[in-house]
Amino acid sequence: MSNEALIQFDLPSKLRPTSGSAEAWNTAYVRVEDYIRAHRIHNRLHQLQLLQLLMQEAAKRHTAKPLSEPTVVAAEVIEEMMDEWFSYVLNAPNQPHERIAVDGRVALLMCDGPEKWPYAFLQKNDLPAEFVSSMREKSIEAGPDLSLSSMVPRPIDLGIITEAAGDTLERVSKWPILKTLILWSVFLGALIAVFKMTR
């Protein structure tokens, strides 16, 4: 086979991180791939497209802060992208990260999105209308707003038996001789019980 018959291509430079070690970027890649798979995105072609997009953005951001771990930067990128995507799909702008992250993941799981629409995850263009409506139907309804209330402490009623036991313990602690007698009585009682059981 001649050299002319070989297909030659070069990866774009944006796919080659200019900061950080190759080992660190390999670790980041594996972690992001596992994270995508944890969301039940098993379509390999879609995984590849997402990984390329995410790693490009992570590499670009890492040049601005080269002392950061590539895995941390990649994790930040995918979290931001998912928050933005969930906000877009659920039509819930300006939600805090904790809220939109939970709402979006629950909706995605409940509508079985990765199975029914394998190419929809993290896409904004050409999203199936059925997917969007299903996600919005399954999203968690916002709960009531938190309100501050004052609580007045009340004495705890432990009942008659616990009161009697507490009184007895207080009396015993006041009289050390009585305390010693009770302890020796319990000890002797235990010895007698063991002696009778072994005979």
Mean pLDDT of the chain: 80
d(CA 107, CA 86): 9
More confident residue, 66 or 178: 66
Of the candidates 23, 142, 4, which has an alpha carbon nearest to the alpha carbon of residue 71? 23
pLDDT at 64 over 80: yes
Contacts of residue 198, defined as CB under 8 A and 6 or more positions apart, other chains included, come to none
Residue 184 has pLDDT above 50, yes or no: yes
- Poorest-pLDDT segment among 41-55, 122-136, 158-172: 158-172
Domain-by-domain residue ranges, the chain? 11-138, 160-198
pLDDT confidence tier of residue 84, bands split at 50, 70 and 90: very high
Q: What's the pTM value of the predicted model, to 2 decimals?
A: 0.59
Distance of alpha carbon 131 from alpha carbon 29, whole angstroms = 28
pLDDT band at 143 (very low <50, low <70, confident <90, very high): very low
- Judge whether residue 186 has pLDDT over 70: yes
Residue 34's pLDDT is what?
Answer: 92
Q: How confident is the model at residue 113 (pLDDT cuts 50, 70, 90)?
A: confident
- Which residue, chain included where needed, has tokens 């059981």? 197
Which ranges of the chain would DSSP assign to H, the alpha helix?
22-38, 44-64, 70-90, 97-110, 113-116, 129-138, 159-174, 176-198
